[in-house]
Amino acid sequence: MNVLGIETTCDETAAAVVAPGENGRGRILSNEVLSQIAEHAAYGGVVPEIAARAHVEVLDRLIDRAVSGAGLTLAQVDGIAVAAGPGLIGGVLIGLVTAKTLALVTRKPLIAVNHLEAHALTARLTDGIGFPYLLLLASGGHTQLVAVKGVGEYVRLGTTIDDAIGEAFDKVAKLLGLGYPGGPEVERMAETGDPERFALPRPMLGRREANFSLSGLKTALRIEAEKLAPLSSVDVADLCASFQAAVVDVVVDRLRVAMRDFATVAGHPTALVAAGGVAANGAIRRALTTQAGEAGLAFVAPPLALCGDNGAMIAWAGIERLRLGLVDDLTAPARARWPFAEPAAIA
């Protein structure tokens, strides 16, 4: 089973071919990703119209490279998987219409994949872990703690009530005059900073539910920065280090609550999994590794190349769904918003 995966939900245009491998893992036969960082850098964030036009310009060539790079022709592909949302609707439409056209012409099954579900299942692609597992899904647009019980069976234990973690990192970077994308820049500056210089708050610490809130932390950092303006490079590094340390503390505390609630909805987890772009942050990875070890769990995170948006995760989610007969017809809609997990009913 060889499945083509197409990803165009934000500012990466991606296509990949994946096949089932050994021990429950997948085999990535090709994985082509074109980033649009250069196109959006001047604006300090993703411009939807620019992103959509960039997808149109390169997607057909990228698919051709992915299929030929896998040593196949389109006739030898067994399914066409595409991220049908959530995301910037212009980009989502471009990927979905392309996938529908290919499925129609080749008479192959179409699998409309939830982009968040693809992130959630990436640990099975890379490590072949079994269900159920506890997932921290953290990206520029999403922050959730989820009990992953099976394909299509997701229970949300906690989410953010305002900013996502990646969004908060990006806003802090912009506030401090750092480059784009902001998250990696904040992490880079934090490496040389003093994480104890600024006493920033840890929102939601100790709360019964596993939700996040980061807008207050971001505001507190802005106030500290305004007190010191103009900022020296040392000030910026210390602010970044203090901010990152606060986020790590919040993640660990919220994770402990989610671990407690996991047993109620899904029994004992097989592993603690991190996915999404923020899973590439070294400080967060180290904290999660420690937390998993204390709980007697394995910690699984994708290699850095699979933390961001990519076609391989879409193709793998397509394989998971195709195995279960979960295919879509040509009326599958593009969705700007598409929740993938049901909230947990915990007293």
Residue closest to 119 by CA, chosen among 97, 98, 135: 135
206-232 pLDDT tens trace: 999 999 999 999 999 999 999 999 999
Helix, coil or strand: residue 67: helix
196-208 pLDDT tens trace: 999 999 999 999 9
* Same domain? 20 vs 66: yes
pLDDT band at 179 (very low <50, low <70, confident <90, very high): confident
What is the separation of C-alpha 57 from the centre of its chain, rounded to a whole number of angstroms?
24
* Same domain? 140 vs 203: yes
143-162 pLDDT tens trace: 999 999 999 999 999 999 99
CATH code of the domain containing 91: 3.30.420.40
Q: In which element (H, E) is residue 308 found? A: none
- The mean pLDDT value for 76-101 works out to 98
Cis peptide before 132 (omega within 30 of 0): yes
* Same domain? 269 vs 168: yes
Query: In the prediction, which pLDDT does 140 show?
Result: 80
Whether pLDDT at 347 is above 70: no
**Cβ contact 314:320 at 8 Å:** no
The residue segments making up the domain with residue 290 are 130-303
* Same domain? 182 vs 258: yes
HSE of 50, CA atoms in CB hemisphere, 13 A: 13
Q: How many CB atoms lie within 10 A of CB 157?
A: 28
Whether pLDDT at 41 is above 90: no
Tell me the pairing of strands 153-159 and 143-150: antiparallel
Query: In the prediction, which pLDDT does 180 show?
Result: 84
* Alpha carbons 34 and 14: distance in angstroms, whole number: 6
* Same domain? 56 vs 174: no
* Same domain? 221 vs 179: yes
- The mean pLDDT value for 40-68 works out to 94
Q: How many CB atoms lie within 10 A of CB 327?
A: 18
Q: Which amino acid is at 180?
A: Y
**Count of positions (residues) in the chain:** 347
Q: Bigger pLDDT: 42 or 22?
A: 22
Query: In the prediction, which pLDDT does 346 show?
Result: 67
At residue 63, φ and ψ (nearest 5 deg) are -60, -45
Please, what is the average pLDDT of the chain?
95
* Same domain? 40 vs 151: no
320-344 pLDDT tens trace: 999 999 999 999 999 999 998 999 8
Q: In which element (H, E) is residue 11 found? A: none
Query: In the prediction, which pLDDT does 181 show?
Result: 85
227-260 pLDDT tens trace: 999 999 999 999 999 999 999 999 999 999 999 9
Query: In the prediction, which pLDDT does 42 show?
Result: 83
Give me 120's structure tokens. Answer: 């959630």
- The mean pLDDT value for 65-69 works out to 98
* Same domain? 100 vs 227: no
* Same domain? 160 vs 287: yes
**Cβ contact 322:79 at 8 Å:** yes
HSE of 66, CA atoms in CB hemisphere, 13 A: 31
Q: Which amino acid is at 136?
A: L
* Alpha carbons 110 and 97: distance in angstroms, whole number: 11
**Cβ contact 118:307 at 8 Å:** no
The total of structural domains in the chain comes to 2
Q: Which residues are CB-neighbours of 87 under 8 A, at least 6 positions away?
A: 8, 9, 10, 115, 336
- The mean pLDDT value for 111-138 works out to 97
* Same domain? 95 vs 173: no
* Same domain? 14 vs 44: yes
